Amino acid sequence: NLQNAYSLAVSAYLAYNDQENIRKKVTGEWGFNDFRFFETDDDTQVFVMANDNMVVVVFRGSESKIEDWRKNFTFPLVEGPFGGKVHKGFYNGVKKAWEDLKIAIKDFKGSGQKSLWFTGHSLGAALATLAVAKLRTDDQPVDGLYTFGQPRTGDRTFAQNFNSDFKPHVFRFVNNNDIVTRIPPRALQFSHLGTFKYFTEKGTLVNDIGWWNRFLDRLNGRVESIFKAGGKEYTDGIVDHRMDNYIALINKKKKKKKKG
């Protein structure tokens, strides 16, 4: 659902603000009744917002430079939900926020039938995925997970078991050459999961164009980037990872579909 994708993408982008600015946006302009913000000692940040119809959990991504991401992948795989193995650093981040997060979800859902949604960009996408996995392992209902620029989060067993349980409700958006979506590498036993949604170099949204066509499309994107002004920080893979670019692409697609 493109409207869901857009709303959750904007929420994921908002997570990069400070607590007070997030609160003002959520409870003011967006009109949500309830809001909670958590930050752990390892800098994991997540906010939860709720109204009469839904509860939304939003994990913040990494504020580090792309060049610093390699240190996020020095941790080994550890036992995780669904009987598979997951990235130790990501999983530790979720576990430290877990008790507060569970309480917030329970309080905000109450005894009603509110839907429950998760989202995140970059590191936040991995954290949101593991939080959903923990809930689903306990057979708790979750209505949807939308991620943007997500790194690989666990091994093949984790991905297969997660998909078996929840794939129709997971939408993993990738923008062309987004470099973070290709780490940690498959060679380290990591694997992607969810329903794949891919923006081509021209901004066309497709499901799965196949490995070879993806390779050609990414190559074309890299060639285009050579002719754009800027140094290393403006390379195609980094620009494509920016959350504001995901929002712009989804919004454009949403408006085009509405006109059609």
30-79: per-residue pLDDT in tens? Answer: 999 999 999 988 788 999 999 999 999 999 987 655 544 554 555 689 99
Average confidence score pLDDT of the chain: 86
**Alpha-carbon Rg of the chain, whole angstroms?**
18
Q: Which residues of 114-146 are buried (b: 16+ CB within 10 A; e: fewer)?
A: bebbbbbbbbbbbbbbbbbbbbbeeeeebebbb
Q: What pLDDT, on the 0 to 100 scale, is given for residue 76? A: 84
Q: What is the mean pLDDT of residues 24-35?
A: 96
Rounded CA-CA distance 240/260 in Å is 27
Side chain identity at residue 153, one-letter code: T
Q: What pLDDT, on the 0 to 100 scale, is given for residue 71? A: 47
Q: Helix, strand, coil % (nearest 5) of the chain?
A: 50, 20, 30
Contact 41, 94 (CB under 8 A): no
Quick one: CA dihedral 74, 76, 78, 83, positive or negative?
Answer: positive
CA distances from 191 to 152, 155, 225 (A): 6, 5, 28
Lowest mean pLDDT among 4-13, 49-58, 206-215, 241-250: 206-215
Contact 73, 150 (CB under 8 A): no
Lowest mean pLDDT among 41-45, 70-74, 129-133, 142-146: 70-74
CA 32 to chain centre: 21
Contact 61, 16 (CB under 8 A): yes
Q: Would you call 97 helix, strand, or coil by DSSP? A: helix
Two structure tokens written together for 147: 């991620």
Contact 219, 231 (CB under 8 A): no
Listed residue (118, 117, 128) closest to 150, CA to CA:
128
pLDDT of 214 above 80 = no
**Helix spans in the chain (H):** 2-14, 19-24, 88-109, 123-137, 156-166, 211-226, 236-239, 243-259
Two structure tokens written together for 83: 């009987």
pLDDT per residue as tens digits for the range 230-240: 444 446 678 88
Say whether the peptide bond before residue 168 is cis (omega within 30 degrees of 0).
Answer: no
Q: Provide the whole-model pTM.
A: 0.89
CA 167 to chain centre: 14
Terminus-to-terminus CA distance in the chain, angstroms?
15
Active site residues: 122, 178
